[in-house]
Structure 1
Amino acid sequence: MAHVLGVSRGRLLLIDSIRAGELARFRDLVARRRERIPLQHLLGTAAFRHVELAVGDGVFVPRPETELLAGWGAERTGTGALVVDLCSGSGAIAIAIADETRAGRVIAVERSAAALPWLRRNASAYPVVEVVEGDVTDPRLLSELHGAVDVLLCNPPYVPDGTAVPPEVAEHDPAEAVFGGGDGLEVIRPVIELAAALLRPGGALGIEHDDVHGEAVPALLRADGRFDEVTAHDDLTGRPRYATARRRWDAG
């Protein structure tokens, strides 16, 4: 109702009358929500940490769980830092970093032609955010930045193929932003390889993953040999959700 009336939720109690057209629009939105259309698509925006992002058809709706990864990254972003957000989608992580830190440069990488307009629209208000169209599985991506990145964050497609998902996801989120191959790790594996090349010694890496990957992703990071301080993190519901690591100082 606040969306229909164009007021904040806190001001709803001050509204003493609603026009017939406004009530009809509200009822229409409720009916569409019953059809399992995501609320964020109905509103045209998604809240993420301290920002509101434009979202709609063709772009993945950012989730509250990812706010934890973004917060972890923000805590490790110093003044003038170079930050890379892979699989950026709507730009949620990149824009949160730009909004909350004094990063010098934030590079948001996305390959989807449908998602890129949303990313560019959201990033337009943040001069430090640069949008790059690219494939995170390409080892040549951002090769000019090898060994220079301070913080690298990624919320990749990671749901194992064939996993049942709610209608809001199955019918409205882009499949390429949700599913990550048979074991859900087909994008995460090359992201780890790319991160090892891009990060400077001591640089920070954070990767979101499915709750079935609580052991697998940390194991991949350890097996790579170029990371230390590998740590598993739970989400708001206590499920395994993201892994972090530091680029080793003594690794080539």
Structure 2
Amino acid sequence: MSAASLSVRGISKSFSGLRAVDNVSFDVKAGAIQALIGPNGAGKTTVFNMIAGVFRPDTGDVLLDGKSLVGKRPDQICHAGVGRTFQIVRPFNDLTVEENVAVGALAWTDDVQEARDYANDVLRLLGLDDKRGARPTGITLPDRKCLEVARALATKPKILLLDEVMAGLRPTETDRMVSVFRKLNDDTGVTILLIEHVMRAVMALSAHIVVVNYGKVIAEGPPELVTRDPDVLACYLGAEAVH
């Protein structure tokens, strides 16, 4: 599995005259773990949807290793190397954990056995191999979050977009997920861009943070600088969050 760089160049998106994303630009280096944060409604998931091809930007461009993704369908962008998770975990509850992940692998192979074999490799990587025969309804919330990541990872992405995969987890569960993502990045080199409200995880994982508010980038840089930025404190973190 290889890593890819991502360049977001001046993307904007409006819905019924409301500007949800306004001229957003940032870069993610190949092999990096980077966070995109901001308050609810700031436009973060809309940015993800434009990267993944759900929405076409009204203006601007999205480049994966220098090649534009704009105008491609979500399946074509997946084939290009972009994998993503969703805020609401919705596995196929009638399938086993292994079968759920194998569905992701069928994005690049027509061989069902090859898809199953790769699914089991992914499950071992994420510590879910002992759950492969279970149904999603029979595993814990943290394991379902890991399953969501496994399904995306099975598509063999070069960059993984993680949308609030640690929401609702207890601190110990969050720490487990942080360890999973560190290991994933170390073992595969995959680039990770995460949307996350859990600052415990953001600070532990990210070397670089981009902050958006009202659809605009208001701050960018290393965590220790961003979390002291007055605009960030005012709009999102609150003074208590960094003391």
Structures share fold, TM-score greater than 0.5 = no
Question: Higher Cα Rg: structure 1 or 2?
Answer: 1
What is the TM-score with the length of structure 2 in the denominator?
0.31
What is the TM-score with the length of structure 1 in the denominator?
0.30
